[in-house]
Amino acid sequence: MNLDTAGGLVEILSRQEFLLLVVAPWKEFALDWVTRCSLDGEVDWTLFAKVFETLVKLMNKLSLHFTTRLDESATSDPLPEIRLDGVKSSSELYDAAFVWLEHKDLRTPSREFRTLLQSYRTSNAGWIAFPDFPVYAFVDALHDLSVRCIEGSVKVDRAVRYSVPKCDIKETEGEVENEVSEAGGQLRAVFLLHTRHKRPPPDDDEASVLSMSPSSKRLKSTFSSFPTIDDWPIPAVTNRFRHLLSLCHRPHL
């Protein structure tokens, strides 16, 4: 038996160290997609709501790599599902987030999160009519809440350190990467569909072209491709007019 006294085959990790290793890619992914919801400083709250939903689902998926290894009886989804259909404003997002954080499984661990949101919502209320939802502070708060809930879902001693084979760690990292990539693909599809729906209607000229029959479009394209006199090279124009002038001045026989 190889005891691996040099640590070449295993990593000795605490419960929290192993959990943070598993969920490490989540925060970078979250910040990336939260940033994509903003354009010129304006947040698209419908897209942000979809990102919020996806982040909760992804964290639950990633948590399985931790909980199933340490405690098979652990709750499969430490975070309750959140549905944000119809959310179109910062105010609606605040309301929906508070409802979610008041879920019976989150009420205690989310106390700091709720305090944070309430402070953002009320601190600027005196001079901003509708203070925006704190999108970046939200990422940190959701990450910390998730870690707290996942840790609380396993019934193991905090002081225990675990020998985790390095090959298992590498395999877990690959699976986590695939799940993050899959979530990114789902969000890309959502963003693309949303962008198409928000595309402005064509102007009058574009609309007239779009309404043409295929044969009319081809005819318009054909005529538009004919050169005008402005397109001719200068020497060609000059030589043509010289020839015409010579014909005009030729003596009649």
Same domain, 96 and 136: yes
At 220 the pLDDT is: 44
**What is the signed CA dihedral for 154, 157, 159, 164, rounded to 10 degrees?**
-60
Tokens standing for residue 174: 């690959």
pLDDT of residue 205: 54
Give residue-wise pLDDT tens across range 108-150: 999 999 999 999 988 755 444 446 899 999 999 999 999 999 9
Alpha carbon distance 141, 78 (integer Å): 15
Domains held by the chain: number: 2
164 and 220 in a single domain? The answer is: no
What mean pLDDT do residues 42-50 have? 94
Whether 73 maps to a domain, the answer reads yes
Q: 143 and 78 share a domain? A: yes
Q: Which of 62-76, 96-110, 120-134, 181-195 has the lowest mean pLDDT?
A: 120-134
224 domain residue, yes or no: yes
Q: For residue 144, tell me if it sits in a domain.
A: yes
- Most distant pair of Cα atoms in the chain: their distance: 120
Q: Is residue 103 part of a domain?
A: yes
Structural domain span for residue 229: 213-248
Return mean pLDDT, the chain.
79
Q: What are the residues whose beta carbons fall under 8 Å from the beta carbon of 130, sequence distance 6 or more?
A: 89, 90, 91
Residue at 70 is within a domain: yes
In this predicted structure, what is the pLDDT of residue 238? 46
According to DSSP, the residues that pair with 10 across neighbouring strands are: 165
Q: Are residue 49 and residue 23 in the same domain, yes or no?
A: yes
In this structure, the answer to whether residues 228 and 135 fall within a common structural domain is no
Q: Which residues share a beta bridge with 14?
A: 161
Which alpha helices (H) appear in the chain, and where do they start and end?
A: 15-36, 45-70, 90-101, 111-123, 135-152, 166-198, 204-211, 214-224, 234-248
At 76-87, the pLDDT tens digits run 789 999 999 999
**pLDDT band for position 25 (50/70/90)?**
very high
Same domain, 138 and 174: yes
Tell me the CB-side half-sphere exposure of residue 76, using CA atoms within 13 A.
Answer: 2
As given in the structure block, the two tokens for residue 172 are 């877990």
pLDDT digits (tens, 9 = 90+) for 199-250: 655 555 544 544 444 444 443 444 344 444 444 444 444 454 444 444 444 4
